[in-house]
Structure 1
Amino acid sequence: MQVEQLKPFIEFAINWYWIPLLLLYAGIISAILIENRNPTKTVAWILVIVFLPVVGMLLYYFFGQKFVKVKKIKRLNKQQAIRLEKKWKELDPIIESFIQDIHEDIGDLSKVFRLMKKERLSSPTLNNDVQLLLNGEEKFKYLLSDLEEAKHSIHMEYYIFELDKIGGQVLNILEQKANEGIKVRLIVDSFGSPDLVKYMRRKKKTKIDFHPFLPVTFTSLANSNYRNHRKVCVIDGRVGYVGGINISDKYINSDDSPPKMYWRDTSLRVRGLAINLLQISFWNSWNQTDGESFYLEDGYLQALQDNSEVKGLAGVGFVSSDPASIGPFNMEALLIAIGEASTKIQLCTPYYIPSEELERALIIAASSGVQVELMVPSTSDSFFVQHASFSFLKPLLERGVRVYLYNKGFLHAKTAVIDDKLSFVGTVNLDIRSFYINYEIAAVVSDHTFAKQLSQQFEIDKQDADLLTIRAWKSRPRWKRAADSVCRLMAPLL
């Protein structure tokens, strides 16, 4: 075909290209509206698509859609719930007695445990031994020892598992234990641990039962928005770990290592009947991989009467959530605790991009006379998150919330202490992504001693932090405040 013959088509494309583009935009915006998601998030995505042509549509395709994957997760969640419902009904009287005992100890803060029971998230258990572990240097000392002593099974689920010094040590122990006949199951997030996923795929001979969670391929890039952010380990169904510390050298602050950013983080080591709940959480995650399912009754759970070796007094439950949860359970549990607080609330988070409900709850608590303290890092690992977070601090400062900027290093701990009675330690950031999009888990602990330890650590961390005032916030350079406002527009998408 001659160039002259193509001219009419070229002219038509130049003059009328906007028609198919307009139809494409209208279709995408209609799809967003039909999803009936949070209005703030809906408006945010529409603004991104309108003001960032093409780029906005690509961002929505890869990170904004509620894909079929979520429907599959909902179906799996329902199947899991059906399998466990009979056991729940058998245990209901025992669970109720546990909640009554916890209520006698901490009053209406026990409503958090009632949420767990009603939503079939977790059964609160009593007489658990809980141990606060600060930073990687404490956690890994205990973790390596517990892994070495494993006799029956090792279950690990981590967002980040690096092939560095500590990662190599853990992996070597897992290989050794698997070769001894101990069942080793390992889940890592494929987005957070790409190097380990590649390594395990190349490794021909291994007895570790390994599966990446939500594998990321070219055809599944759109599902990469949903990540397994949990850090869980259960050994022999008798000792477990949960918290913010991944398997990576960067979590270890060592005098022997080269100078690097100080990493402040928190994890929890637990023994007692609560391990059963952590085991069930892992079982739920495992059943969403390609791994062969296993029966919990095959030595993976402690019998109710088999708790003689544990001397602790803590009441422990776990709140887990995922993209297909019928509610943002981790946020709801925290909202209940904040609403029942009478004297003091202390929160640590690396990322503060709150939902409207959380922001309002903190403001109401502070306005009603509760001492509300929030600690965030003075410098984040993300420009957008840093400035978006700062935009949300102003309303808190204006209403009496005390905000501390941790400046010794990077604060990665995700903790809360309410009235020195109830504690949260987990993987949950105080941001929309953790509440609604990621797979997350938090341990909820009813124990005065543990709560006071966590509160004392908060006071220690305050010595390495600056108190932010509303005057200091307003005196920041104009460009920073402008960046705050712009990044805030992206907050529902971060």
Structure 2
Amino acid sequence: MGVRCKLVSLITLLIVQVGCVSLPKQESRLETLSIKNTQHTHLGKLVQHVAADSSVRQQAFLPLNDGREALVARLALIQQAEKSIDVQYYLYHNDTVGRLFTQYLIEASQRGVRVRLLVDDMATNWRDKDFTVIDQHPNIEVRLFNPFAIRGALRSTQFLFDFSRVNHRMHNKALIVDNQMAIAGGRNIGNQYFSKGGVQFSDLDMLIAGSATDELSTVFDQYWNSDQVYSISQLVKADQLTPKARQAVHQYLIDSLETPEAKVYLDELEQTDFYQRTKNNQLHWFHGRVDIFADPPNKRLDKNKDAYLISMLKPSLDDAKESLFILSPYFVPGDQGVAYLAEKVQQGVEVTVVTNSLAATDVRAVHAGYSRYRKVLLEAGVALYEIKAVQGKADKRWLGSSKSSLHAKTYVVDERTTFVGSMNLDPRSIDINTETGVIFHDVALAKYLLQQIETGPDGRYWRLGLNQGKVAWYESDNLGSEPDFTTEPQSGFFSRVWIKFIGLFPIESQL
């Protein structure tokens, strides 16, 4: 047999073996639910002070704009946990922030707190050992959403044989402590979401106190016990790890937080205004009604689109009578979305959209999908802004840091109703991935966030307009002047060519 025949036989055998791999049966997995009656915990008593009368569904909430402060809030909640911690994230990186977050969870479990850690399996490759070691701690269980049946180096080959399933991901983000306080929004767990070096994501979370937390717990339970979720112990056998290997994971976790770099970052966390205000019980809470919404865990199989998050949010968008402000890092409206926004403009609604520029985006394929709609949006009267990658004015406001990429997903209707969540306005978030969203009914919060964003000529944004029938970029809102750029600013020639090339392919449904 020749070399070519042997190679073909080997590939054929590999395809057969990979195609036959399946996920384990679910009989051994136990159902668990959120812990109720936690009003006598420390956080429960604190909620009674900060939240208004729950009988009229008034809640307390607080925006977490700054990355470091958003991490401080998470660690503070975990540190005060007495009964339970429920964690749900799309990405959970093995970096300084990820290891610090993990260490706090382990310490909480050692105090007797039950920890349920639910992570999407898309980006967990080579972390089976880490999650297995975490799972072996008393009071901690780790589960993965829609896991790859094939683990290790060949896991990506499953896209060839099971694409429709593995393409469906859990993009939700939530931290719930003692069923009393929660954090929901756009941030994953990783350095770039919490102002730790390199390019940083400008993001937004909300700290929530009150009965809405219980609703978020119900959503978590639905995911945790769904058929799409598997315990790490079902996928990786713990006895495959030697005591030496387990000890190495533990030691690496401890040693990595003792490095000079990690210690500097920890000092920075303690210097934040949020840390000081938390210590002195001086947090400024907003109050109002809160509505929790989420996609069903089995969204891939559920053909009833009325159950999708976008359908639940549409009434709040329809309510816009004066203004609709949209902040979406990945914005691919499609023909239907463009028509919807154009109709709102025709109704007299001032529609503003802020998204990433080519230079700021971290997913260029999405920018290729978005860029084809810019001209028609501008022609329809939509005010379109793009975040600069390197901003001319760096300050302490949200979206004010240099070398940033927008990651927050929010919209504000008539300066009174605010959405904060994990959902982008693109086909992937709307039709494929699962998402969580929260609507806050409070004028003060809406105005505060709009003031923080403030799309004016301050060096943070490009204002887009039409010049001689083509898209142009302006440093100011004066669209009647000569444009500053007629091609994608802060980007190279090959980046622009690559975007045009990607745009030739029919992949919009996957963006």
In structure 2, the residue matched to 1:337 is 316
Q: Which residue of 1 aligns with 2:413?
A: 418
Structure 1 Cα separation of the partners of residues 455 and 353 of structure 2 = 14
For each residue in 1:37-77, what CA deviation from the matched residue of structure 2 results, as whole angstroms up to 9, or x when unmatched? xxxxxxxxxxxxxxxxxxxxx9xxx9xxxxx99xx9xxxxx
Distance 2:329 2:174 in 1: 19
Query: For residue 465 of structure 2, what is the amino acid of its counterpart?
Result: T
Taking the TM superposition and a 5 Å limit, the aligned residue runs for 1:38-437 are 126-202=57-133, 205-207=136-138, 208-218=140-150, 221=159, 222=162, 223-253=165-195, 257=197, 260-288=198-226, 289-290=229-230, 313-321=287-295, 322-325=299-302, 326-327=304-305, 329-379=308-358, 380-407=361-388, 408=391, 409-437=404-432
Q: Deviations over 1:113-157 (max 9, x none)?
A: xxxxxxxxxx99721011111142121111101100001100000
Deviation sequence 1:169-190 (CA, Å, 0-9, x none) = 1111111111221110000011
d(CA) in 2 for partners of 1:270, 1:233: 10
AA aligned opposite 2:372: S
SS of alignment partner, residue 424 of structure 1: strand
Contact between 2:290 and 2:440, CA under 8 Å: does it hold in 1? yes
Deviation, structure 1 residue 457: 2.0
List per-residue Cα deviations over 1:74-106 (Å, max 9, x = no partner).
Answer: xxxxx99xx9xxxxxxxxxxxxxxxxxxxxxxx
Distance in 2 (CA, whole Å) between partners of 1:396 and 1:376 is: 13
TM-aligned CA distance change 1:139 to 1:378, over 3 Å: same
Q: Is the 8 A contact 1:265 1:411 kept in 2?
A: yes
Give the whole-Å Cα distance in 1 for the aligned partners of 2:211 and 2:109.
25
What SS does the corresponding residue of 1:279 show, helix, strand or coil? helix
Name the amino acid aligned to 2:487.
Answer: R
Which residue type is aligned with residue 362 of structure 2? D
Distance 1:324 1:186, change over 3 A: same
Aligned counterparts of 1:160 and 1:405: Cα–Cα separation in 2: 25
Residues 447-466 of structure 1: per-residue CA shift (max 9 Å, x gap): 11111112112216873101
Secondary structure in structure 2 of the residue aligned to 1:131: strand
Q: 2:411 is matched by which residue type in structure 1? A: A
Q: Which amino acid aligns with 2:422?
A: T
Separation of aligned partners in 2, 1:210 and 1:461: 45
Letter in 2 for 1:476: T
Residue identity matched to 2:417: L
SS state at 1:151 partner = coil
Rounded to whole Å, the distance in 2 between the matches of 1:149 and 1:195 is 32
- Cα distance per residue 1:401-435 (max 9 Å; x no partner): 00001014200110000001111100000001101
Report the 3-state secondary structure (helix = DSSP H, G, I; strand = E; otherwise coil) of the residue aligned with 2:509.
Answer: helix
1:240-265 alpha-carbon deviations (Å, 9 max, x no partner): 011111110111225xx4xx223211
Separation of aligned partners in 1, 2:305 and 2:178? 31
Are the counterparts in 1 of residues 179 and 213 from structure 2 also a CA contact under 8 Å?
yes
Distance in structure 1 (CA, Å) of the matches to 2:413 and 2:178: 32
| TM-score, normalisation: structure 2 | 0.65
5+ residue gaps in structure 1?
2-57, 63-67, 73-78, 84-122, 293-309
Give the Cα separation in 2 of the matches to 1:213 and 1:394.
39
The more displaced of 195-204 and 341-350 is: 195-204
Offset at residue 476 of structure 1 (A): 3.2
Number of residue pairs the alignment of both structures matches: 361
Change (3 A) 1:461 1:243: farther
TM-score by structure 1 length? 0.67
Would the alpha carbon gap of residues 316 and 406 (structure 1) be closer, same or farther in structure 2, given more than 3 Å must change? same
Gaps in structure 2 of 5+ consecutive residues? 2-14, 34-53, 233-283, 392-403, 473-485
Amino acid in the other structure paired with 1:345: L
Contact 2:286 2:445 in 1 (8 A): no
User: Counterpart of 2:141 in structure 1: which amino acid?
Assistant: D
Q: Distance in 2 between matches of 1:414 and 1:312?
A: 19
- How far apart are 1:163 and its partner, in Å? 1.5
Aligned to 1:465: 461
| Identical pairs, percent | 24
> Counterpart of 2:187 in structure 1: which amino acid?
I
Contact 1:385 1:487 in 2 (8 A): no
- Which secondary structure does the structure 1 equivalent of 2:471 belong to? helix
Q: Contact 2:62–2:286 (CA<8 Å) still a contact in 1?
A: no
Counterpart residue number, 1:476? 487
State the superposition RMSD in angstroms.
3.3
Moved over 4 A (4+): 477-482
User: Cα distance, 1:489 vs. partner?
Assistant: 3.1
For the Cα contact (< 8 Å) 1:155–1:233, is it kept in 2?
yes
| Structure 1 residue 225, shift from structure 2 partner | 0.2
CA distance in 2, matches of 1:174, 1:332: 35
| 2:305 counterpart letter in structure 1 | G
| Contact 2:292 2:439 (C-alpha < 8 Å) held by counterparts | yes
Distance in 2, Cα, partners of 1:483 & 1:468: 19
DSSP-derived class of the 1:268 partner: strand
**Deviation string, structure 1 residues 459-491 (Cα, Å, up to 9, x no partner):** 168731010112261643897598178347321
Contact 1:339 1:361 in 2 (8 A): no
* Matched-pair contact (CA < 8 Å) for 2:146–2:230: no
Paired residue type of 1:232:
A
What amino acid is the match of 1:473?
A: V
